[in-house]
Structure 1
Amino acid sequence: MALPNFAQRYEAGDVWLADCSIRPDLIRAAWEKEALAPIASGGHWLAAEARLATGYPVVARIRAEQRGPVLADPASDKLWWLVPLNAAEELAGVRHLTVRPTAWLLRCPPTGWHLEGRMWIVRPDGSGQLTDPAVLAAAFGPGGYRLPAEATS
């Protein structure tokens, strides 16, 4: 069985990622110009942000079949997990993690490229799989999850 070429290998992820925008044509146009494409959160996913130094070890604590896409920007020390739309409340108590609101723009490279220092360390594969917020919270481990203030009073 022949292995698919580089372009075919990442096309499904690129299609899915572009389709997460209300204007997939603008996303593809940005990538054709070798520029990051701004994709608004809230249509298909939210972005859960952590410092790269804090979050990178967490990626390895999540089994591959449970990981959704993860974007890294080493220059800004940032890492973003794509999580379901209902994740904000569940992840609100996770120290070191900020869930960005609906309409927040995540500047994305296509799945198979590094652009402006950003790269997918877990690439979108076209399936639409996102990281479950409970799994992400647990992966931050001891001291990573805090009960909401009202639960401790």
Structure 2
Amino acid sequence: MQTAQTTVSNTEVNETEVVRLLMDSGSQRTYITENLAKRLNLKKKVTEEITLVTFGADKPKTLRTQKVSLKIRLKDGICMLIDANVVPKITGSILRRPLQMDVCENMKYLCNNLQLADTLPSCLESSTVEILIGNDYYLDIILLQKIEIQQGLYLLGSKLR
């Protein structure tokens, strides 16, 4: 899955925060954690009832969720306005591993010469995902540019930092 770090903000007041997000073209909607929505002091617009089918689940789950608007900063400095459904949690902690630069000859070159949308950990670290960008905004953020690192592994261009 593609991750990125970017600045997100309240649409009305100057509440900003740098967060990690997950890009998921398989999700129909965009989601934000309750915790981040509270920290940014986001106003709830409407309440919706949505049906979630999660990986490995036997049955769909119905959830009442509120919709909020927020801004995400793109790498050109422009902010993109998005709507997101508020959920208690998007995923558990994600384990980020350092890259083995010797796996691929041009990996070190690419990592040193491209502006990546997320940081590269230097040691094993645990992190949280605060926003999941679904297919409703995925194609507005991901670019056509793709670089093959090794068979089946690609770097994708995006409008994020």
Q: TM-score range by the shorter chain?
A: under 0.3
Of Structure 1 and Structure 2, the greater strand share is in: 2
TM-score (norm 2): 0.24
TM-score (norm 1): 0.24
Find the structure with the greater CA-based Rg.
2
Of Structure 1 and Structure 2, the greater helix share is in: 1
